[in-house]
Amino acid sequence: MNSAEIKIDLFRKLDSLKGNRLEEAYGMLLNYINGKNDINDWQNLTIEQQNAIKFGINQLDNGKGREHKKVISDMRKRYTNA
């Protein structure tokens, strides 16, 4: 795909979104566009933050991860008044 085709495809996909999905995509796109690539981000984390990330990666590597949909579903069940 060339640049023009990518832009048209992206526009069509964004145009089909409604409500919260559109707002989420807009926020993610703005975060990506406005974000900066700072290679020092890791060094700026505390030791505790680095260790927590390493722990999470280790859990994923050992097959202990959970699907995003399952986590969200569990949280909605737990924290909504349904």
Q: pLDDT tens digits for 6-63? A: 999 999 999 999 988 898 888 888 888 887 655 677 888 899 999 999 999 999 899 9
Q: What is the pLDDT of residue 30?
A: 85
Cα separation, 62 vs 60, whole angstroms: 5
Mean pLDDT of the region 73-82 = 85
Q: What is the pLDDT of residue 36?
A: 63
Q: What is the pLDDT of residue 6?
A: 92
Please list, residue by residue across 54-67, b when 16 or more beta carbons sit within 10 angstroms of its beta carbon and e when fewer do. Answer: eeeeeeeeeeeeee
Q: What is the pLDDT of residue 28?
A: 86
Q: Does the predicted model carry a pTM greater than 0.85?
A: no
